[in-house]
Amino acid sequence: MAETEAGEGRNKQAAVLPVAGRRNVLVTSALLYVDNVPHLGNLVGCVLSADAYARYCRPRRRVRHGHREVYRWFDHFVAAADGDLPGHIPEVALSERTIQQLYCSSCQRFLAGRLVVGSCPTEGCGYDQCEKCGELLNSIGLRFEPNDCYNKIGVLRLVMFPSTLLGTGENWTLLKTISVTEYLNYESGKFSKANGIDVFGNDAKDTNIPPEVWRYYLLANRPEASDTQFTWTDLHAKLNKLVNKFGNFINRVLSFIAKPEGTGYGSIIPPATNAESHPQSQAISETVGKLVDQYIDAMDKVKLKQGLKIAIAICSEGNGSQFWKLYKQDPPGCATVMKTSVGLVYLLACLLEPFMPSSSKQVLQQLNLCLEEHLSFYDEKGERDKAKRPWDLIPSGHKIGKLAPLFKGLDDSTVKGFKEKLAVS
């Protein structure tokens, strides 16, 4: 994933140009081969990471046709119609060369590297980029294993894109930030299509586990500094954490407000009197303000895993309130705490939108708020200060919408079934 700060753009074809005086960012990602379904390691290392950061910067996305079915389900992008992307491809400085390729007499065609499987000349290694020694190989240099034909994903070289830009001799905006990941391993082994060690996007879809859960898990487990490991047990544990922290917090706050008057607020946001001096709302404000600062710092540095962890931590700041006791013992104080808490619900929906966009949309719907307008912490809009006054984020008298659970947990037998079905052979 790469980020550039926009400089002087090029406008030969009604291009989208940088806006003067604002922070302009172009986010790109490695492109996957279109002839196979991406597995979870591909997704977290390429399009999912880029999508999360792009949503943090500006929630508008497009995608080409190639992996649309998986991407649509995975909620990476807003799918574009064929031909919706710019048709102009600039001429660049490229060179031609003749290479040797293997030829299949049955198919009567030369074989691309992804159609050939073999072993690295180094003992115990293998494939087009050796997963053990890291050596880049071509099909001519492999030791062959007869009668096997696999689709494989090669390595997209990070140097090629900036080199191509430089090769044109024109004033293109160059890369500012490159965010790379290590390997996401699978149950103690590397994801490998050639070796049959993988969970493909269609496998994930067939589990009927919501795409938001997969997004959350992969980004919470993003291999930013070192290899991380996907296990079904860990997915189960992290889903339970998501349900208990985020899902339950949203449900506790909104369901209490939705209770009839006399036991709640009849779905109407109550007023917050003296919120600035109320000890509980002030404590929440101080802690959440620091967490939001940390979130912005992490996200600006493309530390997505850390940003997600910080956002989830905000749930803990509101989960300790015992609303029912306050409602009976201190009605004005309870109203202040509830208005502060519902502000946190809204804040969380905004902070988590890059990671779980559909869940964020559900929360905004339950709050009965416009889906297109929410806090954005990337640009210069002063939203950081608003986050430190959560009791002011939603006005008193606002009526919330219809409530529904955000997530459903998994039982042990279901997780065991997935593990057995997709076991490493």
Give the whole-angstrom CA distance, residue 308 versus residue 78: 22
Kindly tell me the burial class for residue 397, based on how many C-beta atoms sit within 10 Å of its own C-beta (0-12, 13-18, 19 or more).
exposed
Whole-Å CA distances, 220 to 184, 211, 229, 411: 12, 14, 11, 21
Pair (149, 275) in one structural domain: no
Q: Which positions of the chain have pLDDT values less than 70?
A: 1-17, 30-38, 58-97, 99, 112-158, 161, 188-198, 200-201, 320, 373, 379-382, 423-425
Minimal CA–CA distance to 257: which of 367, 363, 361, 344? 367
Assess if residue 405 is contained within a domain. Answer: no
Pair (16, 79) in one structural domain: yes
Structure tokens at 212: 């938001």
- Which residues are bridge partners to 103 per DSSP? 110
pLDDT digits (tens, 9 = 90+) for 31-63: 665 455 667 777 777 788 888 888 888 643 333
Residue 127, pLDDT score = 45
Pair (230, 82) in one structural domain: yes
Degrees, nearest 5: CA angle 83-86-87 = 70
Residue 176, pLDDT score = 74
Q: Which contiguous run of DSSP H or E holds residue 328?
A: helix 323-329
Assess if residue 406 is contained within a domain. Answer: no
Assess if residue 204 is contained within a domain. Answer: yes
Residue 332 belongs to domain with CATH number: 1.10.730.10
> Are 61 and 55 in contact, with CB atoms under 8 Å apart?
yes
- Which residue is associated with the tokens 């030969």? 12
Give the whole-angstrom CA distance, residue 134 versus residue 192: 14
Tell me which residue range forms the domain holding 130.
94-153
Pair (317, 190) in one structural domain: no
> Are 375 and 390 in contact, with CB atoms under 8 Å apart?
no
Buried (b) or exposed (e) across 177-214, using 16+ Cβ within 10 A? eebebeebbbbeebbbbbbebbbbbeebbebebbbbbb
pTM for the predicted model, two decimal places: 0.73
Assess if residue 409 is contained within a domain. Answer: no
Assess if residue 336 is contained within a domain. Answer: yes
Pair (252, 365) in one structural domain: yes
Residue 77, pLDDT score = 36
Q: What are phi and psi of 398, to 5 degrees?
A: -70, 140
Pair (362, 290) in one structural domain: yes
Pair (185, 214) in one structural domain: yes
Pair (266, 368) in one structural domain: yes
Residue type, 136: L
Pair (51, 194) in one structural domain: yes
Q: Considering its fold, how many domains does the chain have in total?
A: 3
Residue 82, pLDDT score = 34
Residue 356, pLDDT score = 92
Assess if residue 383 is contained within a domain. Answer: yes
Assess if residue 324 is contained within a domain. Answer: yes
Pair (46, 190) in one structural domain: yes
Assess if residue 339 is contained within a domain. Answer: yes
Last residue of a domain, one of 153, 172, 187: 153
Residue 359, pLDDT score = 92
Give the whole-angstrom CA distance, residue 133 versus residue 216: 31
CA 193 to chain centroid: 23
Pair (80, 202) in one structural domain: yes
Pair (10, 76) in one structural domain: yes
- Which residues are bridge partners to 129 per DSSP? 136
Give the whole-angstrom CA distance, residue 294 versus residue 377: 12
Last residue of a domain, one of 108, 127, 153: 153
Residue 305, pLDDT score = 93
Last residue of a domain, one of 175, 199, 234: 234
Residue 311, pLDDT score = 94
Give the whole-angstrom CA distance, residue 60 versus residue 212: 18
